[in-house]
Amino acid sequence: MPSIDKAKELIERKLNTMGFELYELKFFRAGPRSILRIFIDKPGGVTIDDCESASNEISMLLDVEEFSKAPYTLEVSSPGLDRPLTSPRDFRRALDRKVTVRIAEEENKSKTVRGKLEVVTDEHISLDTGKKTVDIPFSRILSGRVEVSFS
């Protein structure tokens, strides 16, 4: 029975061969069962069929590897349109889109900045707020989200 870290490595490798990226993996107790929740992504977004095929492949992989003798539920889904932006990789995917970023200020305060994401490096992002360009170091970012627009 592999550890969750080993299972994550195997799942990530399998997803990569299928053209998906492992966005997030969570394994937790929920009553008498455990839940293995996997979020996948790919350029252009994830469909229900993608989730179904990934779920089938991961399920077979985990059965072969004898992931768990205890009952668990496998859930595979997309991180969604309003997914949190937490890493440079996440922000890079949102380039040229409008985002909302909450940043840390002095004395345990924060402020929100909205704008078009223009630059992402490993150290900072740059947003065009419409009035000026704001550079924000990752060390100050508390949270970020793509602004979803239906117009």
How confident is the model at residue 102, as a pLDDT?
A: 96
How confident is the model at residue 89, as a pLDDT?
A: 85
The domain that contains 108 carries what CATH number?
2.30.30.100
62 with 100, same domain: the answer is no
How confident is the model at residue 132, as a pLDDT?
A: 96
133 with 105, same domain: the answer is yes
Question: Tens digit of pLDDT per residue, the chain (151 long)?
Answer: 558 888 999 999 999 999 999 988 999 998 888 999 999 998 888 999 999 999 999 999 999 988 888 889 999 999 887 778 888 988 998 889 899 999 999 888 999 999 999 999 999 999 999 999 999 999 999 999 988 776 6
How confident is the model at residue 107, as a pLDDT?
A: 84
How confident is the model at residue 43, as a pLDDT?
A: 81
How confident is the model at residue 84, as a pLDDT?
A: 84
DSSP-assigned beta bridge partners for residue 143? 102
Looking at 21, 50, 77, the residue that finishes a domain is: 77
21 with 68, same domain: the answer is yes
Number of domains in the chain: 2
How confident is the model at residue 19, as a pLDDT?
A: 96
11 with 63, same domain: the answer is yes
How confident is the model at residue 115, as a pLDDT?
A: 96
Cα angle: 88, vertex 104, 117; to 5 degrees: 40
Looking at 44, 77, 110, the residue that finishes a domain is: 77
In which domain, by residue range, is 109 found? Answer: 88-146
How confident is the model at residue 142, as a pLDDT?
A: 94
DSSP assignment of 25-70, as one string?
A: EEEEEETTEEEEEEEEE-TT---HHHHHHHHHHHHHHHHHTT--SS
